[in-house]
């Protein structure tokens, strides 16, 4: 990828995605998620564990894929646009969820800092996606 701004933004967004994904592996235990679920609801507990693991791993893998596409020299415009597009959809969904059903609403500072963070990460992928789509010589 030729544009230095795009590379920097993708590196920042990918680092945030990877960090958020790794952190989220520990959220259920740290925030005592399972104390809110009846211990006899084993299928529900397993489902929550599976969804959280899948979510966390997806964030880490999307972050790594974006970084590898940026630093590698084998990616073409199409592959970069596909991965950036999918990543944008994921982060835009998180932004919209935070607007519609906000987390951290017990503290306006927490609620809006989460929203701001999600918007920044989304933009770290959306801006490079636009640059890839409008520039003819992106990728190889």
Domain residue spans of the chain: 4-134
* Residue range 81-108, pLDDT digits in tens: 999 999 999 999 999 999 999 999 899 9
Tokens of 19: 């960090």
Per DSSP, 137 falls in state: T
pTM, full prediction: 0.89
Tokens of 98: 């935070």
Report the alpha-carbon distance of residue 122 to residue 28 in Å, rounded: 24
- Reported as type and span, the H/E element at residue 30 is helix 4-30
pLDDT of residue 140: 46
Report the alpha-carbon distance of residue 85 to residue 126 in Å, rounded: 8
Per DSSP, 106 falls in state: T
């Amino acid at each position: 990828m030729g544009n230095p701004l795009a590379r920097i933004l993708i590196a920042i967004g990918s680092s945030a995605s990877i960090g958020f994904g790794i952190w989220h592996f520990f959220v259920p235990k740290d925030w005592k998620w399972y104390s809110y679920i009846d211990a006899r609801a084993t299928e529900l507990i397993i489902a929550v564990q599976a969804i959280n693991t899948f979510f966390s791993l997806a964030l880490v893998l999307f972050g790594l894929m974006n970084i590898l596409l940026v630093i590698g020299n084998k990616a073409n415009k199409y592959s970069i646009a596909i991965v950036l597009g999918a990543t944008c959809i994921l982060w835009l969904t998180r932004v919209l969820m935070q607007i519609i059903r906000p987390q951290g609403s017990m503290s306006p500072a927490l609620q809006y800092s989460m929203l701001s963070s999600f918007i920044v990460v989304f933009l770290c992928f959306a801006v490079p996606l636009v640059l890839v789509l409008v520039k003819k010589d992106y990728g190889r």
